Structure 1
């Protein structure tokens, strides 16, 4: 891997992915996104990994897409490149995915953070969809996920002005889970990952799937989907262990089976 670093054993049952184009502020080029897609697929298939943390560095999570790769393209060129198929695969990651964001998370960087399930931000984090300033618009989910996260009025404002928002403002809108000092954001993301990794990985994946489905269905359909996943947990050894441990007043030992 040239543009990402991977630690499959960052902590017990936790993998860490670091975007690694520091000179370009982790701008998301096609190769980086392909490496990220392939890595997430491999970690999904790794039974030892239960939670994944995605991060950049203190200066930038990702400052946007690599504009140099797109500046001279035509609509047909972009259609043939089909870069968004990679994003679609990343979106399908089954395991809980936490974005640890410091510095710039702009354009594609903001969209990538929103593709994750949770966001821990440092006090220096800046979020935004500034594509309008270069004559285009978000194309990797910015108009859709941002609207679902913070509502129409604020999403419209940010998309149409390209304004950046601070981590505190992002938290006030419900875009991020927590804001901490820069020196603590990886610690906080790791603490959250450890808490989730202690749960049944089967239940966690089914719960993630159910929460995400709520954005795609009406209430009745969503409730039906939730109930089916709830019933499915009762076919796992983890369910037996979890309930037995509760009765016996001890800590459960989940095996992901």
Structure 2
């Protein structure tokens, strides 16, 4: 595990911190491999019910790939098949929250969009600046940004490369809320604890359902949702939820 990826546990919450503030939390292949390790560990840990992703320091969430490392790829094909940190975050089975503490540029924006929920400090900013360097994003930039802010706003960001501030990001729907920098992690933990209190299988299934809704027709999406609902309904946690409702007590979910 790279020292530049810090992994912590806080009760039912897992926290992954991109820990390279001196380089604006830019990512290297080694860090991407460490993210895969962290995701694998959290995915197989039944005591973790929600994961927060954030950056170290107050200046940057992540500035994306370390451009100084990109010339180390000897062929475009090897560049194409490099370890991808956005894929690592998309591999999380547990619900995820991006706590964006500063710049979310390039791959950093893609990383934030790979999370299910995004909140940001009032000093955060967001950009797809790759076009200024002669290329475009490759970690899901276009599809995720178009879904998040709409095709025209996505085109504006991708084709100019210019940043937007947190207030604009909230207006466009890229983030759910803005909080003061000092309160960011506490607010992320508050949301995570709320999710962690819900039935874990249902929360993980809801994540699958939301992502599948992007790819399917309306009719197929409804059928898929109904199938997932049936699976959840058959769990012990669903039985517990109904029993707790009848007995007027808080449910005790066990991820079974």
Quickly name the TM-score band, shorter chain normalised. over 0.9
Structure 1 partner of 2:76: 75
Distance 1:4 1:89 in 2: 13
Q: Distance in 2 between matches of 1:167 and 1:90?
A: 22
Cα distance, 1:247 vs structure 2: 1.2
Q: Residues 233 and 76 from structure 1, CA distance in 2 versus in 1: closer, same or farther, beyond 3 angstroms?
A: closer
Length-normalised TM-score, structure 1: 0.95
In 2, the alpha carbon distance for the partners of 1:90 and 1:4 equals: 13
Which blocks of at least 5 consecutive residues in structure 1 are unaligned? none
What is the aligned partner in structure 2 of residue 64 from structure 1? 64
Who is 1:211 aligned against?
Answer: 210
Q: Cα distance, 1:72 vs. partner?
A: 5.9
Shift of residue 34, structure 1, vs aligned partner: 1.0
Which position in structure 2 is the counterpart of 1:99? Answer: 98
- State the shift of 1:22 in Å: 1.4
Name 1:178's counterpart in structure 2: 177
- DSSP 3-state at the match of 1:193: helix
Alignment of 1:30-179 (within 5 A): 30-57=29-56, 58-71=58-71, 73=73, 74-79=75-80, 81-84=81-84, 87-179=86-178
Residue 196 (structure 1) aligns with? 195
Listed as ranges, the gaps of 5+ residues in structure 2 are none
Does the CA contact (< 8 Å) of 2:49 and 2:94 recur in 1? yes
SS in 2 for 1:95: coil
CA-atom RMSD, angstroms?
1.2
Instruction: Tell whether the 8 Å contact from 2:60 to 2:102 is kept in structure 1 after alignment.
Output: yes
Shift in Å, 1:92: 2.5
Q: In 2, distance between residues paired with 1:163 and 1:196?
A: 34
Q: Deviations over 1:33-92 (max 9, x none)?
A: 11011101110100110000111032111012111111364423313x4334x5434312
TM-score by length of 2: 0.95
Taking the aligned partners of 1:76 and 1:13, their CA distance within structure 2 comes to 40
Aligned-partner SS, 2:48: coil
Aligned length: 253
Structure 2 residue matching 1:252: 3-state secondary structure: coil
Q: Closer, same or farther in 2 for the Cα pair 1:24/1:89, shift >3 Å?
A: closer
SS at structure 2 position matched to 1:206: helix
